[in-house]
């Protein structure tokens, strides 16, 4: 399909969803691989296409908070506050599920994850379709999320016929996930909306994460990974290691925010933006590009410790976890 998705493309995609087919679509975080959330058979196609175990729950995307009651029950006031403050936007709420939500969506849990995306193409698709769209990130299981329509095609080829193009995803990393199914809201996955922003909206602290929290598959230690081993380190170590590896005849890729001196020849280099928003926006495209360079290692400069970089640190740590071993996915 042509960029950007036209009204005809959106009508066609909504009809595909109604017919139980998969549709990949842009959101402001990353691209999603969607199916009609009320159709268990359609939802199964997502797991098959991703190669994802079917006990991993999916996020239901809806056009606005008015539809919440179709998917969740016993919605606490805190969830309404967060929805009012951050929707449409990069926030997912985990709530007690409505009895009619298929097990295929929730992985059989008593909770359901819900999000109202702000991307205009996602909004147009959800409004035209009318129901909820279950959608994980549009990448094969355990791999780097897709932030452009071209990335989605790289991941799925012809297995996903309908890919709506909405340009490069604005935020670039997956939504913040907050559990609101228990007494005090808690953070399940960091994202662009920070714990500080959530606490400011709630006027109360988040609960500390604990063992009883609902499962989040993105918390598998290794996740969001390129095929090439990823190593996180400070800039001066990057220079040292890159020298030593290139001397051994190895090919090295580097992702750095600062201009590392002296510049080393023969390395594949990506300069990442120095601000957190810019860095997040380009992160997955950078990792994809460096992964495709056929190097022996991707050396990534350690991100700053500031609160703004929390979600980026989370994704980089996961990309680097277990590097060099075979992916458990």
* Residues of this chain that bind ligand TXA (CB under 6 A): 27, 29-30, 32, 56-59, 92, 94, 106, 109, 111-113, 115, 135-137, 174-175, 177, 188, 214-218
- Per DSSP bridges, beta strands 133-134 and 59-61 are antiparallel
Integer Cα distance of 177 and 190 in angstroms:
7
Q: How far is the CB of 198 from Mg ion (least distance, A)?
A: 21
The listed partner (Mg ion, ligand TXA, none) that binds 32, CB under 5 to 8 Å by sort, is ligand TXA
Residues that bind Mg ion (CB under 5 A): 137
Give whichever of 144 and 299 is closer to ligand TXA, judged by the CB atom.
144
For residue 109, the minimal CB distance to ligand TXA (Å) is 5
Asked if 254 and 299 count as a contact pair (C-beta separation under 8 A), the reply is yes
User: Is residue 261 helix, strand or coil?
Assistant: coil
Q: How far is the CB of 169 from ligand TXA (least distance, A)?
A: 9
User: Residue 214 has what DSSP assignment?
Assistant: P
Token duo for residue 24 = 């990949």
CB of 90 to ligand TXA, least distance (A): 6
CB nearer to Mg ion: pick between 137 and 147: 137
Angle between helices 195-202 and 77-86 (to 10 degrees): 120
Instruction: Say if strands 133-134 and 32-36 run parallel, antiparallel, or are unpaired.
Output: antiparallel
**DSSP secondary structure string for all residues of 308-319:** GGHHHHHHHHHH
Q: Pick from ligand TXA, Mg ion, none: which does 285 bind, CB < 5 to 8 A by kind? A: none
How large is the greatest C-alpha to C-alpha distance in the chain, in angstroms? 62
Least spacing, CB of residue 11 vs ligand TXA, in Å: 21
Per partner kind, with CB cut-offs from 5 to 8 A, the member of Mg ion, ligand TXA, none near residue 29 is ligand TXA
Which of residues 38 and 137 has its CB atom nearest to Mg ion in the complex?
A: 137
The residue at minimum Cβ distance from Mg ion is 137
- Of the candidates 25, 50, 29, 35, the residue with the CA atom closest to the CA atom of residue 141: 50
Tell me which of Mg ion, ligand TXA, none is bound by residue 26, counting a contact when its beta carbon lies within the kind-specific cut-off of 5 to 8 angstroms: none
Residues 6+ apart with CB under 8 A from 200: none
Task: Give whichever of 188 and 238 is closer to ligand TXA, judged by the CB atom.
Answer: 188
Q: How far apart are CA 38 and CA 129, in angstroms?
A: 12
Q: Are 269 and 286 in contact (CB under 8 A)?
A: no
Return the one option of Mg ion, ligand TXA, none that residue 135 interacts with (CB less than 5 to 8 A, by type). Answer: ligand TXA
270 binds, among ligand TXA, Mg ion, none (CB under 5 to 8 A by kind): none
Partner that binds at residue 243, options ligand TXA, Mg ion, none, CB closer than 5 to 8 Å by kind? none
Query: Shortest distance, CB of residue 27 to ligand TXA, whole angstroms?
Result: 5
* Least Cβ distance, residue 158 to ligand TXA (angstroms): 21
Kindly state the DSSP code that residue 131 receives in the 8-state scheme.
Answer: S
Q: Tokens in use for 150?
A: 């071209």
Supply the minimum distance, in Å, between the C-beta of residue 287 and ligand TXA. 16
Q: Which is nearer to ligand TXA, 57 or 226 (CB)?
A: 57
Q: Which does 112 bind (CB under 5 to 8 A by kind): Mg ion, ligand TXA, none?
A: ligand TXA
Give the Cα separation of 298 and 295 in Å (integer). 7
Measure the CA–CA gap between 301 and 245, rounded to whole angstroms: 16
Which CB atom, from 10 or from 253, has the smaller least distance to ligand TXA? Answer: 10
């Amino acid at each position: 399909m042509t960029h950007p998705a036209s009204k005809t493309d959106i009508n066609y995609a909504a009809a595909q969803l109604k017919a139980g087919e998969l549709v990949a679509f842009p959101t402001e975080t990353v691209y999603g691989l969607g199916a009609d959330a009320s159709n268990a058979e359609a939802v199964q196609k997502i797991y098959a296409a991703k190669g994802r175990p079917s006990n991993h729950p999916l996020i239901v995307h809806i056009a606005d908070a008015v539809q919440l009651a179709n998917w969740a029950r016993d919605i606490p006031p805190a969830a309404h506050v967060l929805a009012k403050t951050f929707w449409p936007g990069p926030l997912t709420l985990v709530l007690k599920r409505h009895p009619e939500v298929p097990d295929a969506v929730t992985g059989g849990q008593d909770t359901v994850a819900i999000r109202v995306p702000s991307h205009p193409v996602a909004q147009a698709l959800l409004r035209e379709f009318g129901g909820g769209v279950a959608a994980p990130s549009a990448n094969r299981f355990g791999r780097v999320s897709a932030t452009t329509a071209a990335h989605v095609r790289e991941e799925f080829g012809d297995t996903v016929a309908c890919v709506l193009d909405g340009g490069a995803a604005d935020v670039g990393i997956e939504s913040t996930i907050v559990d609101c199914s228990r007494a005090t809201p808690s953070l399940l996955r960091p994202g662009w909306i920070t714990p500080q922003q959530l606490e400011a909206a709630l006027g109360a602290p988040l609960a500390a994460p604990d063992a009883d929290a609902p499962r989040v598959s993105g918390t598998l230690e290794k996740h969001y990974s390129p095929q090439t081993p990823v190593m996180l380190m400070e800039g001066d170590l990057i220079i040292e290691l890159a020298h030593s590896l290139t001397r051994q005849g190895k090919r090295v890729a580097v992702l750095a925010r600062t201009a590392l001196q002296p510049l080393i020849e023969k390395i594949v280099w990506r300069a990442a933006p120095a601000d957190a928003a810019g860095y997040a926006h380009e992160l997955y495209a950078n990792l994809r590009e460096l992964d495709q360079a056929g190097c022996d290692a991707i050396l990534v400069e350690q991100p700053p410790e500031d609160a703004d970089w929390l979600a980026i640190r989370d994704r980089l740590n996961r990309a680097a976890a277990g590097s060099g071993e075979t992916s458990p996915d």
